[in-house]
């Protein structure tokens, strides 16, 4: 697996559409990437236009920040959710999601003992593995008593194997195994203004109130699916759609946001992109990157999109889904843009392909964006395509200078300004329209997340800290 591919597997933390309540804030803000009423700062960098930057965060992270009132919340590897005061950057609380969050109060004492025993076994495994490695080096260099060292190493081999087997049976009590670039905290949290919901790679979904108090936890099991494009990892952000918390982890789930109870369970979920919500004929549906179209009210699989998309999610606009990316294995570098219209058909939907346009070969990990009748999509190398959303006519396809970093951030907008972002910390401001006009470029620290805008402030989750930029 290539490094860039791994990088935005994570990020592509998916796209979705607005949920039914205006207070829902999550991935891409309301799910469209339009930040209504916000203004993009014009003067900012690592040293200019900085309202505040947090002290170093506990670990790196790829999920986007979300702003809920005067709180800005982010994730941190491997399973942490943190909230800061949006106006000052002061940390308010942090919570590490664990299996213990998912059990009843009566079970917590016994489960706590299991956690303690698991930690003891992990420590013992680390010690025995280190000793095993030392003996192996000694035997290779023929130092000391070879027979005694060989006997000890054989005994340690058996013990290490037994310890690994015991820990395998205790997977739910362990932190997820580190996954470079993708991680376990790449899903952007979502909020309904009353609670914040997060999904992590250890299979734990949590609901927390705005003060950080645990409301509920739900365990969906350790990751078992072989993901599309890479064998492991999880980056699909949860969505609040028509009063249901939609989660893509092992399978597509619909949860009760008040309790975490499972309302319905759908097909296996193998995508790094998030499920997308779309309202058609007064009903809400969710569309997976693999193409399944599911009714949110009951989880019924009612139709299929004509083509899947790898690593990203479609952008919803009205009754149409817009795609930019790979519809087949992206290693072929096939890159296309296409549009699919959904129409009511009884309790289900009919699916109509509107248009399909080929683009310059490349890879796409950023979600597309629709603004003013134009569909935008950016490739990994910074090549920005703009197409007529009605016809698929290509207005332009030109490379934006984003420095040496890969274009991982999904496209967002405020007013008539689009934002592109690259891994090395470059952010480009683009004027929306049928011709390319770069308004300016800015340099921050490295990041893989997508910015969040509110008022005249832009929040960026860098790899090491959280930035508040602007007025």
Q: Give the model's pLDDT for residue 125.
A: 86
Read off the pLDDT of residues 185-194 as tens digits, 9 standing for 90 and up.
999 999 999 9
Q: Specify the pairing of strand 91-96 against strand 80-85.
A: antiparallel
**What SS3 state is found at 9?**
helix
Domain boundaries, the chain: 3-98+176-470, 105-173
Read off the pLDDT of residues 436-445 as tens digits, 9 standing for 90 and up.
999 999 999 9
Lowest mean pLDDT among 188-202, 334-348, 372-386: 334-348
What average pLDDT score do residues 403-424 get? 97
Instruction: Please answer whether residues 387 and 408 qualify as being in contact, where contact means their C-beta atoms are separated by less than 8 angstroms.
Output: no
Instruction: Please answer whether residues 441 and 425 qualify as being in contact, where contact means their C-beta atoms are separated by less than 8 angstroms.
Output: no
Q: Give the model's pLDDT for residue 236.
A: 95
* Residue 444 burial by Cβ neighbours in a 10 Å radius (0-12, 13-18, 19+): buried
Give the distance, in angstroms, between the CA of residue 414 and the centroid of all CA atoms in the same chain: 21
Measured CA to CA in angstroms, residue 135 lies from 127, 143, 153, 162 at distances of 13, 9, 6, 19
Instruction: Please answer whether residues 301 and 293 qualify as being in contact, where contact means their C-beta atoms are separated by less than 8 angstroms.
Output: yes
pTM of the model: 0.88
| Residue 80 host element (H or E) | strand 80-85
* 366-398 exposure pattern, b = at least 16 Cβ within 10 A, e = fewer: bbbbbbeebbbbbbbebbbbbbebeebebeebe
* Distance (Å, whole) CA 21 – CA 30: 10
Query: What is 3-98+176-470's CATH superfamily?
Result: YVTN repeat-like/Quinoprotein amine dehydrogenase (2.130.10.10)
Q: Tell me the range of 25-29, 173-177, 222-226 where mean pLDDT is highest.
A: 25-29
For residue 428, what pLDDT band results from cuts at 50, 70 and 90?
very high
């Amino acid at each position: 697996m290539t490094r860039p591919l791994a990088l935005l597997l994570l990020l592509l933390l998916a796209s979705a559409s607005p949920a039914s309540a205006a207070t829902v804030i999550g991935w891409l803000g309301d799910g469209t990437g339009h930040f209504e009423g916000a203004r993009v700062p014009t003067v900012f960098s690592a040293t200019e236009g900085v309202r505040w930057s947090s002290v170093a965060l506990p670990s790196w992270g790829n999920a986007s920040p979300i702003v809920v009132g005067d709180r800005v919340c982010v994730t941190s590897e491997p399973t942490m959710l943190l909230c800061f005061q949006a106006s000052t950057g002061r940390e308010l609380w942090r919570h590490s999601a664990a299996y213990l969050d998912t059990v009843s109060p009566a079970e917590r004492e016994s489960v706590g003992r299991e956690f303690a025993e698991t930690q003891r076994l992990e420590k013992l495994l680390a010690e025995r593995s280190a000793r095993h490695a030392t003996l192996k080096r000694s035997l290779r260099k023929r130092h000391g008593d070879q027979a005694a060292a060989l006997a000890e190493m054989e005994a340690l081999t058996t013990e290490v194997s037994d310890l690994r087997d015991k820990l395998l049976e205790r997977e739910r009590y362990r932190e997820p195994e580190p996954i470079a670039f993708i991680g376990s905290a790449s899903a952007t949290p979502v909020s309904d203004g009353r609670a914040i919901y997060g999904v992590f790679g250890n299979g734990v979904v949590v609901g927390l109130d705005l003060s950080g108090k645990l409301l509920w936890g739900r365990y969906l099991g350790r990751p078992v699916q072989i993901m599309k494009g890479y064998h492991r990892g999880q980056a699909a952000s949860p969505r609040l759609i028509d009063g249901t918390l939609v989660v893509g982890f092992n399978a597509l789930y619909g949860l009760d946001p008040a309790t975490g109870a499972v309302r319905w369970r759908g097909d296996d979920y193998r995508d790094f992109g998030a499920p997308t919500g779309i309202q058609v004929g007064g009903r809400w549906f969710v569309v997976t990157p693999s193409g399944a179209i599911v009714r949110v009210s009951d989880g019924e699989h009612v139709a299929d999109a004509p083509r899947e998309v790898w690593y990203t999610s479609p952008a919803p606009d009205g009754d149409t889904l817009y795609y930019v990316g790979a519809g087949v294995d992206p290693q072929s570098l096939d890159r296309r843009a296409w549009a699919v219209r959904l129409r009511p058909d009884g309790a289900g939907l009919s699916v109509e392909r509107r248009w399909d346009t080929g683009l310059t070969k490349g890879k796409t990990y950023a979600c597309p964006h629709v603004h003013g009748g134009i569909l935008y999509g950016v490739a990994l190398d910074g090549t920005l395509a703009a197409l007529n959303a009605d016809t698929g006519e290509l207005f332009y396809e030109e490379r934006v200078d984003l420095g040496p970093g890969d274009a991982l951030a999904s496209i967002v907008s405020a007013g008539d300004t689009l934002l592109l972002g690259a891994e090395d910390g470059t952010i480009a401001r683009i004027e929306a329209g049928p011709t390319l006009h770069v308004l300016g470029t800015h340099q921050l620290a490295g990041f893989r997340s997508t910015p969040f805008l509110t008022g005249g402030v832009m929040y960026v989750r860098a790899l090491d800290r959280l930035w508040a930029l602007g007025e």
